[in-house]
Amino acid sequence: MIVLFDFDGVIADTESQYTVFWNEMGKKHLGAENFGLTIKGQTFKQITKYFAENLSVLFDVIEPQLNEFEVNMSYDYVPGALEFIKELKAAGIRTAIVTSSHNVKMANAYRAHPELPGLVDAILTSNDFTKSKPDPECFLKGMEVLGGTPEETIVFEDSLHGINAGRAAGAKVIGLTTTNKSEVLTPLCDMVIDDFVGFSLKDIESL
């Protein structure tokens, strides 16, 4: 078994913060409502397509605000996530974080949680792959780095893009309701959980 974790909304309880930020940017600069949900799980590079008619707004106005936002945002763990990752490590289960975030943003997370890089075997960011979720490239690369196959891989995700990427990679997918409701995730996932409280290795051994 190998386990691949998305970061935002799976390990770190950040998705609600991003939703507020991108909802505000979408409304202000695109006249779009609920823009934060539209771009869930997408890299900054992917988001450029929504600003094709005015890229300067994205790069000159929004990106500096986003960088500042990510420095100051809270990186609190999703309840139970740290304990679950520690359990997997103690059991010798190979793990990796596979995130659409870039290295600069993740450096902010490491400052908040310096223990995090040592708890997993690998961390892959948007700097490590060319295609973004829902393309399965990132998870397939995670499997390659850990030396695992799709059949033995379990992916933890919260966004629809990420869940679809995990499924396309051939992995079992466990969805967290930190971004989408259970009724949305259930048809797409092998299991749905609210968080990791009371969740253990035993819960995934039967998948």
Long-range CB contact pairs, 186-191, < 8 A, 24+: 188/160, 188/163, 188/164, 189/163
Residue whose C-alpha is closest to residue 207's, from 174, 160, 167:
174
Report which of residues 101 and 123 the model is more confident about.
123
Among 64-73, 77-86, 133-142, 172-181, the least confident range: 64-73
Say what the pLDDT of residue 115 is. Answer: 95
pLDDT of 39 reads: 82
pLDDT, tens only, 1-22: 999 999 999 999 887 888 889 9
Cα(207)–Cα(118) distance, rounded to whole angstroms?
27
Question: Would you say domain 2-13+76-205 falls under CATH 3.40.50.360?
Answer: no
State the pTM of this model: 0.87
Cα 191 to Cα 9: distance, rounded to the nearest angstrom: 16
Q: How much of the chain, in percent, has pLDDT values that exceed 90?
A: 71
Residue 31 near residue 121, CB atoms below 8 Å: no
- In this predicted model, what pLDDT tens digit does every residue of 133-191 receive, in sequence order? 899 999 999 999 999 999 999 999 999 999 999 999 999 999 999 988 999 999 999 99
Quote the CA–CA distance of 81 and 69 in Å, as a whole number.
23
Output the pLDDT for position 52.
87
Structural domain spans, the chain: 2-13+76-205, 15-72
Strand partners, 173: 155
Contact 175, 189 (CB under 8 A): yes
Give the number of other CB atoms < 10 A from CB of residue 111: 10
**pLDDT score of 41 more than 80:** no
Dihedral sign from CA coordinates of 170, 175, 179, 185: positive
